[in-house]
Chains A and B, each alone.
Chain A
């Protein structure tokens, strides 16, 4: 039992990292950015290059992953999304563009590294850490620690710094923020960089915990998105609760029924939530989904 709970918390922490990053970007750009999934995989694979190919130590691999994710997302924002936003492109078109980017990046990764799984795990498999009667791998401990740290620091960033407040202002009402002299491009760029750094971090840590595949980003991203939909966009505490709910449901299903049906139930929960409460558990009425 405690093992189920421990795995659930570790899974929840990874959804939390991805969900917060996704929500940060969504707040600023307000379209569903599928390319975020590829950004996660890019972080994981660049850590793989740094550690396995270039022989760097693990912490440097983590840093490399974060930097690569953040800089590739920044490049995409600068080269593709920003010009489109200036043309007042609708969110539907931006969503399609991000799908195209996702497909391109995913197949680029398969082209370079092969479509099969590669492993980052170094050396022998250790027994892991004993916490409250459950065994956790080193990577799981790191994910939980980073998840909590990421959650707290993002909340502080959004509520206590000027840039955080600007991001929330743009998310609230972009026209009004513009009238008040907020420079939208800079705000979107910083949200993109921060959100993608969190995505890269999650990708690298998950890569240490299990294998890397070119398709890994999508399923992780969807876990994060479910947490965001349950918790409400931009609501860090809600996302944390959503991630925990998702992590526990998934692991309970895996424990009592079968891990094969995890995905089906997760997506069914997501559809139900969007039908019943699109603003999330704790969210106030959102502009998303409204006509």
Chain B
């Protein structure tokens, strides 16, 4: 039972991450490899704020989102000038920089040792149990779904889609692409950081290896496999890629082998989907050549 709840919490957190990334990847058409960086920024900010200053969980979560929004400018500004491969490389560099800072800024992040003893969330004066935590995480996933859907259905979303199809053309219509991209990235980063904050308080121990580029690739794979830019594709991707590897656990492989097999499953599924059905299972946007 505990195991089942744990899996559902993971699914909820990854769903938040995939919806937040889909705002960038699916709706802006920018292949960002930096989502795990915002996830990590959120987790670390929240953990540090909670341990060093004793800030309660809701405050720590807000701080995490705030820092991530500020940091998102480092990726959103280049995205105005750079496209396709070049943007992917910039986001990749950002991811590597964040990982390196988490790994080397010993005074603040404790480097590879990680931060332990992150307090359980306390809401209305009492600690949150595992089941209630699941409710919180699922709530965040629903919120991120609603935010992304709401943003992309209205006029804001139509501008994002216009920029995705033709950046220069939308500029010629007087759309301030800088503004739209900054807002999209800020929302996406804040949601990812909120997921990170929840993860930190749930697991109570974080270290940089949770927030590597491989994690970013995994989140992007979930979006692509589920279907970028579609309503429920990110959810489907998160569920599929969290559940399939769990089956490997039951097949009785030792953990060291299971970890590698899990990675290979992600990689192989990504290739397979892109070859057979580039739009993903439920996709509406296929990154076609312009």
Residues from chain B with Cβ under 8 Å of A289 in the complex: 82-86
Q: Which residues on the B side are within 8 Å of A260 (C-beta)?
A: 100, 104
Q: By the criterion CB–CB under 8 Å, are B88 and A95 in contact?
A: yes
Q: A107-B260, A271-B94 are in contact. Are A97 and B288 (CB under 8 A)?
A: no
Q: Which of B134-142, B190-198, B262-270 contacts A (4 or more CB under 8 A)?
A: B262-270
B85 in contact with A103 (CB, 8 Å): no
Separation of A265 and B289 alpha carbons in the complex (Å): 33
Closest to A89 in B: B278
A91 at the interface (CB under 8 A from B): yes
Pairwise interchain contact B167-A291, C-beta atoms closer than 8 A? yes
8 A Cβ contacts from A191-221 to B? 218
Select one of B85, B96, B217, B274 contacting A288, CB under 8 A.
Answer: B85
Main SS of the interface on chain B? Answer: helix
Q: Contact at A288–B267, with CB atoms within 8 Å?
A: no
Residues of chain A within 8 A (CB-CB) of B221 are 99-100
Given A96-B31, A278-B86, are A91 and B289 neighbors across the interface (CB < 8 Å)?
yes
A96 and B263 form a contact (CB under 8 A): no
Could you mark each residue 272-290 of chain B with 1 if its beta carbon is under 8 Å from any beta carbon of chain A, else 0? 0011001000000011111
Q: Is B58 an interface residue (CB 8 A)?
A: no
- The answer to the question of A268 belonging to the interface, with a C-beta cut-off of 8 Å to chain B, is yes
Q: Is A88 an interface residue, CB under 8 A from the partner?
A: yes
Partner of B257, one of A80, A111, A278: A111
Chain B nearest CB: distance from A92 CB in Å? Answer: 4
Check A83 for interface membership: any CB of B closer than 8 A: yes
* Interface residue A225 (Cβ < 8 Å from any Cβ of B): yes
Nearest chain B CB to A23's CB is how many angstroms away?
Answer: 13
Cβ of B220 < 8 Å from any Cβ of A?
Answer: yes
A222 at interface by CB-CB < 8 Å: yes
* Contact B93 A92, beta carbon cutoff 8 Å: no
Size of interface on B: residues with Cβ below 8 Å to A: 49
Q: Would you call A261 and B104 a contact (CB within 8 A)?
A: yes
Residues of A within 8 A of B113 (CB): none
Q: Could you tell me if A288 and B86 are in contact, using CB atoms closer than 8 angstroms?
A: yes
Assess the B268–A92 pair: CB atoms within 8 A. no
Contact B81 A275 (CB under 8 A): yes
The chain B residue sitting closest to A94, CB to CB, is B274
Minimum CB–CB distance for A186 against chain B, Å: 22
Does A90 make an interface contact (CB < 8 A)?
A: yes
By beta carbon, the residue of chain A nearest B274 is A97
Q: Knowing A80-B275, A100-B221, A218-B213, say if A107 contacts B85 (CB, 8 Å).
A: no
What's the nearest-Cβ distance from chain B to residue A44, in Å?
18
A131 adjacent to chain B (CB < 8 Å): no
> Shortest CB–CB separation between residue B266 and chain A, in angstroms?
6
Complex CA gap A83/B81 in Å reads: 32
CA distance A225 to B89 in the complex (A): 9
The answer on a CB contact under 8 Å between A93 and B217 is: no
A110 adjacent to chain B (CB < 8 Å): yes
Q: How far is the CB of A34 from chain B (nearest CB, A)?
A: 9
Supposing A90-B287, A107-B267 touch, asked if A274 and B90 sit within 8 A by C-beta, the answer is: yes
Given contacts A90-B287, A103-B214, A263-B97, contact A270 B89 (CB under 8 A): yes
Instruction: Provide the bound-state CA to CA distance between A137 and B33, in Å.
Output: 37
- Tell yes or no: B247 within 8 A of A by CB: no
Given the complex of chains A and B, what is the CA–CA distance between A218 and B260 in angstroms?
17
> Do the beta carbons of B274 and A100 come within 8 Å of each other?
yes
**Given known A32-B89, A264-B100, contact A101–B82 (CB-CB < 8 A):** no
- Knowing that A84-B274, A111-B261, A225-B89 are A-B contacts, what are 5 other residue pairs whose CB atoms are under 8 Å apart, sorted by A's residue number? A83-B275, A93-B286, A103-B266, A271-B78, A274-B78
* 25 residue pairs from A and B, CB less than 8 Å apart: A88-B289, A89-B289, A95-B85, A95-B88, A96-B287, A97-B274, A99-B267, A100-B268, A101-B271, A103-B266, A103-B270, A104-B264, A104-B267, A107-B261, A110-B260, A111-B260, A261-B104, A263-B100, A264-B97, A264-B101, A267-B93, A267-B96, A274-B90, A275-B78, A289-B83
